[in-house]
Amino acid sequence: MGKIVAIVNQKGGVGKTTTAVNLAAAVGAAGYRVLLADIDPQGNATTGLGVNKKQLHTSSYEVIIGGLRATDAIVPTQFSNLSLLPSSINLAGAELDLVELPQRESKLKQAFSLVRDDYDFIFMDCPPTLGLVTINALVACDTFLVPIQCEYFALEGLSQLMQTVRQVKRLWNPLIDIEGVALTMYDGRLNLTQAVVDEVKRFFPRRVYSAVIPRNVRLSEAPSFGKPVMYYDSHSRGTTSYHELAREFLQSNGKIAAMR
Ligand code: ATP
Ligand code: MG
């Protein structure tokens, strides 16, 4: 049964999608069957994997709201062992639609229960909110992974995130646990960076990955070519850093991290 990991931080632009796409690709390339579920109406993970939203008729929206089977919306990608549950702009209305539904917080959990045997890992790229879609992700997941951008106000909102996690744990998902914290857009030359890193480590003792993701222009270019960075520039620092993160992720999950 595959492990379900929500990639979450309600702060915008911290590297959730970049981490979701590139970690999923690296874990897939390491030989594990991976599903990336894009549950953000922005659909950046969908575009980042080269899938054209306009050519799709079904998406995570119909799965969450319409009770469509996930298998009927999942599409293959061009990348090794990597499938995608794509997003659509309709998801922007999902928050309102969900309010009307019974068991509105458990729709994704129900949807994944039927497909989790098909994958070793399911990653969810969450929107930058703590609304009902993100709640669905936290209810559905085994663990959550928090990307944090190494800059001023990095910890802003993290107390609120952890408060939401505690509520989800109490009401719906007693076994939810933190997977890890990934430091993104790291610049070791800045004194500020070290201060932020220290602060994050105090907030999440022993949960911060040693592998850090540097600022790397290849990481920001790759999505416009519809590719994870490892398929766009295999020698870039972006590629090596996400491989390191994947290795650490797999090792902490008791998996062999033979990277190809
Ligand atoms: P949102 O909250 O809007 O969904 P996000 O948390 O998913 O944002 P990303 O989309 O991954 O964040 O990243 C925000 C921007 O920063 C993007 O343009 C992305 O290409 C860029 N970016 C992310 N990580 C890096 C990095 N390590 N180096 C350079 N650019 C990066
Ligand atoms: Mg995003």
Beta-bridge mates of residue 37? 85, 124
Q: Is the CB of 18 under 6 A from ligand 1?
A: yes
Report pTM.
0.97
pLDDT tens-digit series, residues 186-235: 988 888 888 889 999 999 999 999 999 999 999 999 999 999 999 999 99
pLDDT number for residue 156: 85
Average pLDDT on 138-149 reads: 97
Q: What is the pLDDT of residue 121?
A: 98
Q: Which two tokens stand for residue 3?
A: 């492990």
pLDDT in tens, 5-52: 999 999 999 999 999 999 999 999 999 999 999 999 999 999 999 999
Does 122 have pLDDT greater than 90? yes
Cα–Cα distances in angstroms (integers) from residue 55 to residues 8, 84, 253, in the given order = 27, 14, 36
Q: Give the number of residues written for the chain.
A: 260
Question: Is ligand 1 within 6 A of the CB of residue 77?
Answer: no
pLDDT at 259: 60
- Ligand 1 binding pocket mutation candidate from 7, 18, 190, 233 (most atoms within 8 A of CB): 18
Give, in order, the Cα–Cα distances in Å from 94 to each of 3, 104, 119.
Answer: 25, 10, 26
Nearest atom in ligand 1 to 220's CA: 20
> What are the pLDDT digits (tens) for 91-111?
999 999 999 999 999 999 999
What are the two backbone dihedrals, phi and then psi, of residue 236, each rounded to the nearest 5 degrees? Answer: -75, 160
Distance 241 CA to ligand 2 centre (A): 19
Q: Is the CB of 14 under 6 A from ligand 1?
A: yes
